[in-house]
Amino acid sequence: MDFQPNINRDVEWRKGWHDLAEAYVKIKVPGVTSVIGDMIPDPGIEEWIKAVGKEAADKITQAAGWRGTAMHLFIENWLIEMKKSGDPSAALRFTQTESPPFLLKEEEVPQFKVDEGRKLFYNFIESEPASQYTKLIGTETSIYSPILFYRGKIDWLYEQQLYGLSVSDFKTTSKPIEPKSRKEEGYKHQIGAYALAVDHMMLKKDPTSTKKVNYASIIAVHTKSSLVQNIALFDDELQEYKDRFETIVRGYHNKHGQSFLL
């Protein structure tokens, strides 16, 4: 199906040449997870929903979302304060003071889920990935590809000790992520997509730049143990997943009638 904008919804009028009105059409710019979910569907999710029932699945998903939100905010505030002060103790005090009130009042996360998120945060800061970064660039950083027209948000954009410019995403998981599983493949495509978008943004800013993301990872903090998995891509494997996602997102635009973008 060719791209068919809704004239009443998708057209924005602006002043152009000689103050004449010009019409701009809003195109569909998907998120990374939307592209992956559409182009590499996970049959296990549908099977799980059927097995437990939609109502139970919604409750489990909401509870996991609260827990993940809590852990993310504890980590984010810790990283931000580490960037400012460079003092792990000060960063720990800051996130312990600032995170719970915001989670309880603004995010409306139940107290027991705030406590769970704090515990997972402690597991993270004691893990190897937390000790490898040297310079924080940003947290919850919005990114997009001006070449392939997709977008996303990176939990952690930073300089890593061995590989330089890096991106990481934090996840919680109730069981180990198995090698070559659909879940691991989905995560690898996700971080490959994030890394590729950052590469494209740097090229847009400076077409002569050769700097690119050299390391990307999913940091999966386990909810039933102290295990923290680091699913990492670098060197040739990272380039492979950048290339794979490029193929997938091109297929997505073709599927949704937006091949003209590419």
- Between 19 and 5, name the one with better pLDDT: 19
| The predicted structure's pLDDT at residue 45 | 82
Residue range 79-131, pLDDT digits in tens: 999 989 889 899 999 999 999 999 999 999 999 999 999 999 999 999 998 88
Is pLDDT at 3 greater than 80 in this prediction? no
d(CA 195, CA 216): 7
Bridge partners of residue 31, in order along the sequence: 151
Helix (H) or strand (E) holding 92: helix 88-105
Residue range 126-142, pLDDT digits in tens: 999 888 878 899 999 99
CB within 8 Å of 147: residues ≥ 6 apart: 200, 203
| The predicted structure's pLDDT at residue 236 | 96
d(CA 222, CA 227): 6
Strand ranges inside the chain, DSSP E: 11-15, 21-25, 133-144, 151-160, 164-173, 215-222, 228-234
| The predicted structure's pLDDT at residue 203 | 94
Is pLDDT at 1 greater than 70 in this prediction? no
Token pair of 57, please? 């699945």
Q: Are 127 and 220 in contact (CB under 8 A)?
A: no
Cα 143 off chain centre by = 9
| The predicted structure's pLDDT at residue 48 | 81
Is pLDDT at 153 greater than 60 in this prediction? yes
Residue range 203-251, pLDDT digits in tens: 999 999 888 999 999 999 999 999 999 999 999 999 999 999 999 999 9
d(CA 83, CA 133): 11
Fold that domain 11-261 belongs to in CATH: Lambda Exonuclease; Chain A (3.90.320)
Segment 154-164 shows an average pLDDT of: 92
Residue range 38-87, pLDDT digits in tens: 999 888 888 888 888 888 888 988 999 999 999 999 999 999 999 898 89
d(CA 167, CA 232): 10
